[in-house]
Amino acid sequence: KSSVQTIGEEQIQNPYTELLVLKGHQDIVRFLVQIDDCRFASAGDDGIVFLWNAQTGQKLFELHGHTHKITAIAPFSSSDTSEEKNHLILTASADRTVIVWDCSSGRQVQKVSCFHSTVKCLTVLQRLDVWLSGGSELCVWNRELDLLCKTSHLTDAGISALVELPKNCVAAAVGKELIIFRLMASNGGSEDWNVIELKRLSDHQDNILSLVSVNDLTFVTGSHVGELIVWDALDWTKQASECNFWDSSVHSDVQPEIKLSQSPNETSVQHLTSDEE
């Protein structure tokens, strides 16, 4: 049966307005990332990465290389100055590896297997032409997958999320804490890179699960118990927060799309995204 399914075949009761249902994964899909205007990638607990045509729903490639679930994924465009960029993606897995994939061929370009713990997050700093991996430590890598520098061991639980900040800084979620690091870039070679811890912010009451950059001035964190905190991206001060979410059984007259549960056990911010507006 075709992996592309139109609404109506098995979606009779679906109240939403999907155009296509894309089938292929054998377990929970946890990640979706845009590659370019026409393609995106999906990954999850089956350890497989699928590349899709976003317009037709056609499955372009099925990428096999990890032996455990995917824990992070990030687009990684080449720094080639030619008009046609070489689009790559990075994937991390509970098998303690990171793989670089070529999106045009579906080929595995390179694999890093030197991690001592699971990499839980990946982020690419295009301006510095490096990428970061977050696990029990924060590591900085170049495009050739050389390790430029890393922090000392942070915690066994490790870094759960990363976001780029201005002035060569990154924010890392480590349990309930938000740690601000600064990358000291090298002027030449790979020996002079360093990553320095600047500050620890302990405003959350529970583990931080999600980080998102809104714009150059603002970023937001979300925790397991449903806290949202808005931060200044330049001086890392708290700008706003929301912790008292509504109980739908009490406010029955409120429209469903703006109701949130008041119980900390029922609300968890797992993911945040922004349209930069």
Give residue 260's pLDDT: 42
| Structural domain boundaries, residue 74 | 1-113
Considering its fold, how many domains does the chain have in total? 1
User: Is the pLDDT at 43 greater than 90, yes or no?
Assistant: yes
What pLDDT is attached to residue 46? Answer: 95
73 inside domain? yes
pLDDT, position 77 = 77
For residue 259, being part of any structural domain is answered with no
**CA neighbor of 88 nearest in space, from 104, 70, 64:** 104
| 23: CATH | 2.130.10.10
Question: What CA–CA distance (Å, rounded) separates 121 from 102?
Answer: 20
**Letter for the amino acid at 161?**
A
Confidence of residue 156 (pLDDT cuts 50, 70, 90): confident
Q: Is the pLDDT of residue 263 over 80?
A: no
> Is residue 197 assigned to a domain?
no
| 5 found inside a domain | yes
Global pTM exceeds 0.85: no
Q: Indicate the pLDDT class of residue 138, thresholds 50, 70 and 90.
A: very high
Residue 11 confidence class, pLDDT cut points 50, 70, 90: low
Q: Is residue 71 part of a domain?
A: yes
Q: Is the pLDDT of residue 2 over 60?
A: no
The closest of 196, 138, 209, 139 to 168, measured between CA atoms, is 196
What is the rounded distance in angstroms from the CA atom of residue 103 to the CA atom of residue 122?
A: 17
Q: Regarding predicted confidence, which is higher, 252 or 75?
A: 75
> Would you say residue 76 lies in a domain?
yes
256-274 mean pLDDT = 51
Residue 168 in any domain: the answer is: no
Quickly list DSSP for 232-270. Answer: ETTT--EEEEE--PPPTTT-TTS-GGG---S-TTT----
In a domain, 65, yes or no: yes
Instruction: Give dist(CA 41, CA 101) in Å, integer.
Output: 11
